[in-house]
Amino acid sequence: MRFEGTASYVADKDLMVAVNAAIALERPLLVKGEPGTGKTELARQIADALGVELIEWNVKSTTRAQQGLYEYDAVSRLRDSQLGDERFNDIGNYIRRGKLWDAFTTDRKVVLLIDEIDKADIEFPNDLLQELDRMEFHVYETGETIRAVNRPIVIITSNNEKELPDAFLRRCFFHYIRFPDMETLQKIVDVHYPGIKQDLVRAALTQFYEIRETQGLKKKPSTSEALDWIRLLVADDISPEDLRGDAKSALPRLHGALLKNEQDVHLFERLAFMSRR
Amino acid sequence: MFLPFFLELKAAKIPVSLREYLALLEGLKSGLVDYDVEGFYYLARSALVKDERYIDRFDQVFAHVFKGLDALAGDDGIDVANLPEEWLRRLAEKHLSEEEKKLIETLGGFDQLMETLRKRLEEQKERHQGGSKWIGTAGTSPFGAYGYNPEGVRIGQAESRHRRAVKVWDKREFRNFDDSVELGTRNIKVALKRLRRWIREGAEEELDLPGTITATAEHGYLDVKTRPERRNAVKLLMFFDVGGSMDDHIKIVEELFSAARSEFKHMEYFYFHNCIYEGLWKDNRRRHSEVIPTYDVLHKFGPDYKVVFVGDASMSPYEINSPGGSVEHWNQEAGIVWLYRVLNQWPNAVWMNPVRENHWQYTHSIKMISDVFSQRMYPLTLAGLEAATRELSRRH
């Protein structure tokens, strides 16, 4: 199994090496990077390229590690026992499988995406150490041990909101998706909108990088925002000359797709005001 | 065989462990990146570096250790004299256009050209650096003549030709990430965790086992009770000293700030300068226009808030104990009066001091403030932070 990128995902060589190392050595791959650089998309594309199923586990601030393994629904069991339902005799009926369990027990290799692991509690990664390392866990209620039939390809994404513990990091391969340079971004745009007007793309990307390099922006626009913006430009049939927007402000046309908070919009208006004087 | 590299990484204070080194060796053994320096670099980076902060440092060490290893791949001794035929062919095909290939034909054909190359490589004594240099300097050889420069060629590599001139690790693209502020706060967050105070409020989702047993025993039938989940409900109020002598400590204070901010939902902060007086502010750029009266803050936040002052407490004693002592404005009441007001409102308070503890005795004002806080002043270190959180969590 080797990952070589897909028709709709531009993967740099460093990314491919990291993904292939994770696949070959059966270790989790931790992917970090600015929001909107395609971290989550990566897992989908790996699953696509290898033709395997993707199991997504979206982590939230309230998610606990145990939920990924299994949950024991004691309340239903108590209720059933009172109603005289025969099912309650078997505790197994009340064990709800988590995503990790699903990923371990499928008969084919799967891609398991643990999305935004940094959203959870600071101890969350520590609670998954053994499970991800040995790819097995114990179910106390039934006394069975769930062991991975086929070790899944584990992709973990993080937005850097919390630092992850060293012990956890040591068990992973790591890749930081850096922001693409203009050439790569052009490739990405081409993949997403084939047959787009090249002069428009070039003008748009030039302006996009100008915006990104503006000092003091609260939120720099990212790859996904560039793609949205270009789609809007195409939909509105804007010519490259029109792209600058009206002369009064430095704001580009349809800037709503790029600048997501009002302080950044104000910043641009102020810059325009200063440059006019 | 890469042990010196591993040790140099350690020496450069990149947190690498034996486990990661073994993972790298395992990756090499499984043939992930045969004969490909760039691939080796990426694999090593992916296996050994786990934080983008260290990538720049890693690049530097890599460049230093593997200096000269750029053209020919395979540090583990690929037999250069026995270059595989299709390897060379692929190399040439990749870089030669159709006309150039025709030209080669006229010069005796591709095979002969490759034969020459192989012979020259055999004559070669030193395998690694020498090999590359040797080919590279053969400017009059057919290799040079057909317009590819072996000096930079990555053999067996299809993409990113534009990167050839500069080695990837020499570009040091990750320089910016070194030492950025939001990072490096995990230890602080773990220390702050002690401040958590669990209470149950909100939707009743969790099975209350003792409650269920009691209710069942009382009623004679199974009566399931539920209760809300535990949540962290600690309320934290922080006051930061800014400007002046605090500029030396800006990094650690920023770390504490960002750690506290992401760890606590109910966290409020205000800024002051040197000592607390009748006005505070929330935005340092507008500190003179948007002053918040300290009385408002005192009235707004209840006594259940835990209070942390962060400041070096280094000032002239007059700034603490006399009216009009402030360096910035005329204060009607002395700083000490305000400090006592604060402590009356929030008895659960500590003062974190970034100045090293063994220097405290040399500054009179530090002792004064520490006395006001009944010795609850702690150094802004991990140990100090732990002691402070223990103190803060003693009383609810």
* pLDDT tens-digit readout, B185-224: 676 777 677 677 666 666 777 778 888 888 888 887 877 8
Residues of A in contact with B221 (CB under 8 A): 82
pLDDT tens-digit readout, A55-93: 999 998 888 888 999 998 887 888 888 888 888 888 888
State the pLDDT at residue B355. Answer: 86
Mean pLDDT of the A120-133 span: 86
pLDDT at B39 over 60: yes
The mean-pLDDT minimum among A249-263, B8-22, B214-228 falls in: A249-263
Which residue of B lies nearest to A3 if distances are taken between CA atoms? B32
- Between residues A243 and A15, which one has the greater pLDDT? A15
Q: Could you tell me which residues come within 8 angstroms of residue B315 by beta carbon, excluding any fewer than 6 positions away? A: B274, B275, B327, B365
Token pair for residue B73? 């791949």
Q: What is the mean pLDDT of chain B?
A: 73
The mean-pLDDT minimum among A144-148, A167-171, B38-42, B78-82 falls in: B78-82
Q: State residue A207 phi and psi, 5-degree precision.
A: -70, -35
The DSSP line for B105-163 is HHTTHHHHHHHHHHHHHHH--S-SHHHHHHHHH-TTSHHHHTT--TTT--TT--S-GGG
State the pLDDT at residue B180. Answer: 38
The mean-pLDDT minimum among A249-253, B6-10, B27-31 falls in: A249-253
pLDDT at A121 over 70: yes
Tell me the sheet residues that pair with A29: A155, A173
Token pair for residue A174? 């790591």
Beta-carbon separation of B51 and A174 below 8 A? yes
Residues of A in contact with B23 (CB under 8 A): 25, 27, 173
State the pLDDT at residue B50. Answer: 86
pLDDT at A210 over 50: yes
Whether A30 and chain B come into contact, CB under 8 Å, resolves to yes
Token pair for residue A254? 């349809």
User: What CA–CA distance (Å, rounded) separates B376 from B362?
Assistant: 18
Which of A78, A82, A163 faces B183 most closely, judged by CB atoms? A163
The mean-pLDDT minimum among B178-182, B245-249, B284-288, B374-378 falls in: B178-182
State the pLDDT at residue B244. Answer: 75
Which residue of B lies nearest to A10 if distances are taken between CA atoms? B159
Helix or strand or coil: residue B307? strand
Mean pLDDT of the A247-275 span: 74
Chain A / chain B CB contacts < 8 angstroms: 97
pLDDT at A227 over 60: yes
Whether A231 and chain B come into contact, CB under 8 Å, resolves to no
Whether B52 and chain A come into contact, CB under 8 Å, resolves to yes
State the pLDDT at residue A113. Answer: 94
Helix or strand or coil: residue B352? strand
Percent of chain B, pLDDT > 90? 1
The DSSP line for B79-110 is -GGG--HHHHHHHHHHH--HHHHHHHHHTTHH
pLDDT at A269 over 70: yes
pLDDT band of A156, cuts 50, 70, 90: very high
C-alpha R_g of chain A: 24
User: What CA–CA distance (Å, rounded) separates A124 from A68?
Assistant: 11
Q: Could you tell me which residues come within 8 angstroms of residue B21 by beta carbon, excluding any fewer than 6 positions away? A: B2, B6, B48
Which residue of B lies nearest to A33 if distances are taken between CA atoms? B52
The mean-pLDDT minimum among A96-100, A203-207, B107-111, B373-377 falls in: B107-111
The mean-pLDDT minimum among B33-42, B83-92, B162-171 falls in: B162-171
pLDDT band of B291, cuts 50, 70, 90: confident
pLDDT band of B312, cuts 50, 70, 90: confident
Q: State residue B186 phi and psi, 5-degree precision.
A: -60, -45
pLDDT band of B101, cuts 50, 70, 90: low
Q: Is A13-177 assigned to CATH 3.40.50.300?
A: yes
Structural domain spans, chain A: 13-177, 182-276
State the pLDDT at residue B64. Answer: 82
Whether A5 and chain B come into contact, CB under 8 Å, resolves to no
Which residue of A lies nearest to B222 if distances are taken between CA atoms? A82
pLDDT band of B108, cuts 50, 70, 90: low
User: What CA–CA distance (Å, rounded) separates A122 from A160?
Assistant: 12
> Which range is most confident: B25-29, B167-171, B258-262, B322-326?
B25-29
Structural domain spans, chain B: 3-71+172-177, 80-153, 198-231, 233-394
Query: Residues A8, A133: contact at Cβ < 8 Å?
Result: no
**CA B213 to centroid of chain Cα atoms:** 49
Percent of chain A, pLDDT > 70? 97
Which residue of A lies nearest to B55 if distances are taken between CA atoms? A176
Whether B37 and chain A come into contact, CB under 8 Å, resolves to no
Q: State residue A154 phi and psi, 5-degree precision.
A: -100, 120
The mean-pLDDT minimum among A51-55, B143-147, B227-231, B252-256 falls in: B143-147
Beta-carbon separation of B39 and A162 below 8 A? no
pLDDT band of A157, cuts 50, 70, 90: very high
State the pLDDT at residue B351. Answer: 92
* Mutation site for B-interface testing, chosen from A4, A12, A13, A218 by largest number of B Cβ within 10 Å: A13
DSSP B281: B
Between the two ends of chain A, the Cα-to-Cα distance in Å is: 61
CATH architecture type of domain B233-394:
3-Layer(aba) Sandwich (3.40)
Mean pLDDT of the B28-54 span: 83
Residues of B in contact with A32 (CB under 8 A): 52
pLDDT at A155 over 90: yes
A 34-73: CB under 8 A from B: 62
State the pLDDT at residue B87. Answer: 53
pLDDT band of A30, cuts 50, 70, 90: very high
Where would I find the beta strands (DSSP E) of B266-389?
266-272, 279-280, 292-293, 306-310, 349-353, 377-379
Token pair for residue A124? 């969350």
State the pLDDT at residue A91. Answer: 84
State the pLDDT at residue A114. Answer: 93
The mean-pLDDT minimum among A106-120, B180-194, B240-254 falls in: B180-194
Percent of chain B, pLDDT > 70? 66
pLDDT at A98 over 80: yes
Q: For the range A213-222, what are the long-range contacts, defined as Cβ-Cβ under 8 Å and sequence gap of 24 or more?
A: A214/A267, A214/A268, A214/A271, A216/A267, A217/A259, A217/A264, A217/A267, A218/A261, A218/A263, A218/A264, A219/A259, A219/A260, A219/A261, A219/A264, A220/A34, A221/A36, A221/A258, A221/A259, A221/A260, A222/A34, A222/A35, A222/A36, A222/A37, A222/A179
Beta-carbon separation of B23 and A173 below 8 A? yes
Q: What is the pTM of this model?
A: 0.61
Mean pLDDT of the B168-197 span: 60
State the pLDDT at residue B329. Answer: 79
pLDDT band of B139, cuts 50, 70, 90: very low
∠ CA A24-A26-A29, rounded to 5° = 100
Residues of B in contact with A170 (CB under 8 A): 17, 19-20, 50
Of the candidates B88, B93, B101, B96, the one whose C-alpha atom is nearest the C-alpha of residue B155 is B88
Residues of B in contact with A175 (CB under 8 A): 46
Beta-carbon separation of B185 and A174 below 8 A? no
Distances (CA, A) of B296 to A131, B214, B237, B329, B337: 51, 47, 14, 19, 16
Mean pLDDT of the A148-156 span: 90
State the pLDDT at residue B100. Answer: 61
The mean-pLDDT minimum among A160-169, A267-276, B317-326 falls in: A267-276
- Between residues B290 and B300, which one has the greater pLDDT? B300
Mean pLDDT of the B328-355 span: 87
pLDDT at A187 over 70: yes
pLDDT at A24 over 80: yes
- Between residues A202 and B76, which one has the greater pLDDT? A202
Residues of A in contact with B173 (CB under 8 A): 178
Burial class (CB in 10 A: 0-12, 13-18, 19+), B141: middle
pLDDT at B367 over 80: yes
Token pair for residue B323? 């009216």
Residues of A in contact with B46 (CB under 8 A): 14, 17-18, 21, 29, 173-175
pLDDT at B32 over 70: yes
B 176-205: CB under 8 A from A: 177, 182-186, 189-190, 193
Residues of B in contact with A79 (CB under 8 A): 222, 224
Which residue of A lies nearest to B39 if distances are taken between CA atoms? A17
* Mutation site for A-interface testing, chosen from B50, B56, B224 by largest number of A Cβ within 10 Å: B50
Helix or strand or coil: residue B57? helix
Residues of A in contact with B32 (CB under 8 A): 17, 20-21, 24
User: What CA–CA distance (Å, rounded) separates A113 from A57?
Assistant: 6
Q: What is the mean pLDDT of chain A?
A: 84
